[in-house]
Structure 1
Amino acid sequence: MSADSIDDIRPDPSLGHLPGKCVETLDAASWACFDIEDMLRAKLQEFADEIDAIETLRSTF
Structure 2
Amino acid sequence: MRSKKLFSCAFSTFRWILAKGLFAFFTLVFQIMRKRGDFVGKLKLKIEKNILESKHIKEMRTNG
The alignment's TM-score, normalised by the length of structure 1, stands at: 0.68
Residue ranges of structure 2 left out of the alignment (5+ in a row): 51-64
Greater share of helix: 2
Cross-structure match for 1:27: 16
Tell me which structure has the larger Cα radius of gyration.
Answer: 2
Higher relative contact order (CA 8 A, sep 6+): 1
- Displaced runs of 4+ in structure 1, greater than 3 A? none
- Residue 49 of structure 1: how far off its partner (Å): 0.1
Q: Percent identity?
A: 4
Q: CA RMSD in A?
A: 1.5
Residue ranges of structure 1 left out of the alignment (5+ in a row): 1-15
